[in-house]
Amino acid sequence: MLQQIFKDVDSLYEEMVEIRRYLHQHPEVSFHEEKTAQYITDYYDRLGLPYRSQVGGNGVIATLKGGKPGKTVALRADFDALPIQDEKEVPYKSTVPGVMHACGHDGHTASLLCLAKALVPYQDELPGTILFLHQHAEEYAPGGAKPMIEDGALEGVDAVFGTHLWSNTPVGAIETAPTKFFAGADRFEITIQGVGGHGAQPHQTKDALVIGSQLVTSLQQIVSRKVDPLEEAVLTVGTFQAGTTFNVIADSASLTGTVRTFNEQTQDLIIVEMEKQIKGICAMNDCTYTFDYLKGYPPVVNHEKEAALVIESAAETPGVEEARYVSPVMTGEDFSYYLLERPGAFYFTGAQKEGHAYPHHHPKFDLDERALPISAKTLFHAYMRYQEEN
C-alpha cells in the first residue's frame, strides 16, 4: 500500500502545480486569508472529507479517520502570503499588487491538499487518524498556530509533523535537526525624542539622528561583548527613520529590529542590556525615549525521536536522495507552539530552483515544483512510520 500511495501522490504532480500556481496568483496576507481558506474548504468538500473551518481565525482542519486502529497525527501546512511586490516574470505571477507568496506557503498547501486526495481511496486500510492542519498567519506574530491550538487544534493529537519547502536546499534533500532547529524571533521598536532645529545651529538642538546612530552602533556590541560566544544570538536593527530634509536637524528618530535566540536566559540578557544601552545613551544626550519589546515565536525545538523518524522514513521515500541533520537556523517559525504541546518534528524539503538564486522573502522568490510531491510523500511516510513505532 505504501508504495502505491507514493505512486498516486506522484500522479497528482500536475494538480499540485496547478493549485500552487493558482494560490501564487491570488495571495492573501496574514490574518486576511478568507478566500484562501474558502479555497481549501471547497477542496475538502469535493473530497468528501469532514473539516472544521475558522479554527483560531482562518484556520482549517480536515480529518481522515482510518479504518484501522492507531494514533492521531497532525500534518501542518501554512497558507498566508507576504506584503511584497512580486517581481518575477512568470505566467503565475501574483495578480495582487504588493502581495506575493515569497516563502512557499502556496506549495505547502498544494502538497497537503493533494496528499489528502491521494489517501481518500485508502481510508479503510489506513491506521489511526490524520488531521490535515491548514494554518493561517504564520508570517506575522502572534501568528496563527497559537490561536488554533487554543481553539482545540491539537485535541486528541498524539504527534505533529510539518515541512517547509526550502529554496536554499537542492531538490531531493531532506534536512532537519535533532533538537533546536529555528530560533525564537522577537521584534522591538525604539523612539528617541530630542530637540530639532536649524542645520547650521546644532548647538541649540539635541540631534535625534546622531543619537540614534550612536545607539545602532552600541547595540551591535551586545551580542559580540555580552552574550556567551557559544550561545547563538542575533540582534538586527532593520529600520532607522529620522529627519525630513537636508538642512533640518531631526527632533525624533525611530528604530525597529529583531532579536533571535535559542534560550530564555540569553533572550532576557539581551533585553536587559538593550534597556541599559538605550537609557545610557539618551541620558548622556539629555533626551527621552520609548522602548517596546515584543517576544515573538519561541524556538522550534524538535523532539529527538520524531526527528530521527523523519530522517529514517525520508531516506526510504522515492524522490529523496539524501536525508540529513543540519545546523540550526536563525529564522523563526510558529510551528514551535505545536512542539511545545505535542511530540513531533519540523523539517526542510529541498526546493532550490536551478539557476534561481533568490532567497525566501525576496521579490523574485520562486521554488522548484518537483519538490511538491516529495514534501507530500515524506509527510505521509513520517505518519506511517509513527504509527508503526507507536
List residues with catalytic annotation. 80, 138
Q: Answer yes or no: is 164 a known binding residue.
A: yes
- Name the residue type at position 178: P
Whether 32 has a binding-site annotation, put simply, is no
Q: Which residues have C-beta within 8 Å of that of residue 307, sequence separation ≥ 6? A: 176, 177, 178, 179, 325, 345, 347
Q: Is 386 in contact with 309 (CB distance < 8 Å)?
A: yes
Q: Is 105 annotated as a binding residue?
A: yes
Question: Which among 280, 306, 271 is positioned nearest to 383, based on CA atoms?
Answer: 306
User: What distance in Å separates the CA atoms of residue 162 and residue 149, rounded to the nearest whole number?
Assistant: 15
- Tell me the residue length of the chain: 390
Choose among 133, 137, 102: nearest CA to 31.
Answer: 137
Cell of residue 96, nine digits: 495582487
> DSSP characters for 319-346?
T--EEEE---BS---TTHHHHHHS-EEE
103 in a known ligand binding site: yes
Burial track 289-307 (b if 16+ CB lie within 10 A, e otherwise)? bebeeebbbbbbbbbeebb
| C-alpha–C-alpha distance, residues 61 and 51, integer Å | 5
Q: Which contiguous run of DSSP H or E holds residue 132?
A: strand 127-135
**Cis amide bond preceding 142, omega within 30:** yes
Q: CA nearest 159: which of 334, 389, 386? A: 386
CB-based contacts of 214, cutoff 8 Å, min separation 6: 281, 285
139 is in an annotated binding site: yes
190, three cell numbers: 525604539
388 class by beta-carbon count within 10 Å (0-12 exposed, 13-18 middle, 19+ buried): exposed
What grid cell was written down for 331?
529564522
Which residues contact residue 109 at a Cβ distance below 8 angstroms, ignoring those fewer than 6 apart?
19, 20, 23, 36, 40, 77, 78, 79, 134
Q: Which residues are annotated as a binding site?
A: 103, 105, 139, 164, 361
Q: Which residues are annotated as a binding site for Mn(2+)?
A: 103, 105, 139, 164, 361
